[in-house]
Amino acid sequence: MWDNEASIIPKFRATTRPATSDHPTVPSNRSVNHTVIAALAGATALIGGILLATWLNTPGTTTLRSGTLLQQPRVLPALDLIDQDGQPFTHAQLQGHWTLIFPGFTYCPDICPTTLGLLKTVQTQLGSRAEHLQVVLFSVDPERDTPERLKEYVTYFSPAFRGVTTSEPNLKAVAQALGVAYAKVPGGAPGEYSMDHSAALILINPRGELAGYFTGPFQADLLLADLKQVLERSP
Amino acid sequence: MRTSALYAAGALMLLAGCGSGSNTVTVEDAWIPAAPPGAGVMAGYLLLRNGSSQALRCDGASGADFGAAEIHRSVVENGQSRMLRDQVLELAAGESATLAPGGLHLMLFRPAREFKIGDKTELKLHCGSVTVTASARIQEPR
């Protein structure tokens, strides 16, 4: 659906005829004026109609207020991830619905819970439409984030949220494919390191292709409006 | 003897200063978002007001129910979400500082117990000779 954008954009062909010239009869001054006024009114209505129709009908040029859609969705390489139940998470889990991927880690008390809390709010406000959106925490910290730990963490926010990760060097490859950068930063004690990671949320379309990014600072109302637009594009 | 009693009274006033009164350092709205079970780390937020006539410099923190605490700041730089350690709160006389989600916060390591919503725990900010004590409430994340 994304690469067929051109066919969705409404087309307005030049179907109007010249309205005033070559009139067969010779009108009086008064009727000339009427003809000109009628033509102007007609032209104005036509242009107004075109503008209105364009404004109302722009699914092909969805613009997001808190993110960017790629003009051409990017095909992703194989994703060999493990989910919070220890089950494989691959392309198969990206098919048929939209997916929002949040790169992060669970040993993160400020940004990660705040973002997941916000995504929970958005998910609730989407109502039944939320069925078409899968929310996934992609942990860049597999050393601490075992499937069990991921499960405790994500299901605390929503039973529908998923948590995925993988070990190195596969983590690096998947992160690169998703456009995610990360780095380990030492803390005060060996187990208390932090992870720098890309702040953007990654949008995957129902064909499992990378469709766009949302960038912070995230606001629930903007993200909700954007996701409603995106979900309306669902097949 | 008399002098030390005055000092003691002064120290008591400083300690008692948390919460009310003018010309003191106070903490308002200290809270900790409830965290998923098994969380190894939590965050503390508060509003610190320097109502004294002296500049205040806080460079350490501790918590009665935590193995360690530090003053951290979350930032986004070049699209990267980062956490900066060893932050210092510097408040001129009359200034205040807000520790809130997505920015400055107390990083609370190794909670000694599982908290429930509504539980309270004591947090401390170490500001040179002044220690500011706050009773933080465990709340739903906001």
Residues of A in contact with B101 (CB under 8 A): 110, 114
User: Quick check: A109 and B105 CB within 8 A?
Assistant: yes
B107: nearest CA in chain A? Answer: A109
CB-CB under 8 Å, A197 with B41: no
What tokens were used for A180? Answer: 């995610």
Distance from CA of A112 to the nearest CA of B (A): 9
| B78 has a chain A CB within 8 A of its CB | no
Q: Which percentage of chain B shows pLDDT scores above 90?
A: 80
> Is A53's pLDDT higher than 70?
no
| CB-based contact A198:A179 (threshold 8 Å) | yes
Average pLDDT over every residue of B19-41:
84
pLDDT 10s digits, A148-163: 999 999 999 999 999 9
Nearest Cα residue in chain B from A111: B102
Residue B69 has pLDDT above 50, yes or no: yes
pLDDT band for position A83 (50/70/90)? very high
Give the chain B residue whose CA is nearest to the CA of A150.
B36
Token readout for A157 is 């926010």
Phi, psi of A207 (to 5 degrees): -95, 5
B91 Cβ under 8 Å from any chain A Cβ: no
Checking if the pLDDT of A9 tops 80, the result is no
Give me the pLDDT at residue A13, please: 37
User: Is there a contact between A199 and B79 if contact means CB atoms under 8 Å apart?
Assistant: yes
Distances (CA, A) of A82 to A92, A142, A163, A169, A170: 13, 10, 8, 14, 11
The structure's pTM equals 0.78
- Chain-centroid distance of CA A117 in Å reads 18
Region A15-30: mean pLDDT is 45
Subunit contact B141:A113, Cβ cutoff 8 A = yes
Alpha-carbon gap, residue A212 to A228, rounded angstroms: 15
Specify the DSSP class assigned to residue A16: P
ipTM of predicted complex: 0.81
A216 and B CB contact within 8 Å: yes
CA distance B42 to chain A (A): 5
Per-residue model confidence as pLDDT tens digits over A100-140: 999 999 999 999 999 999 999 999 999 999 999 999 999 99
Closest residue, chain B, to A156 (C-alpha)? B36
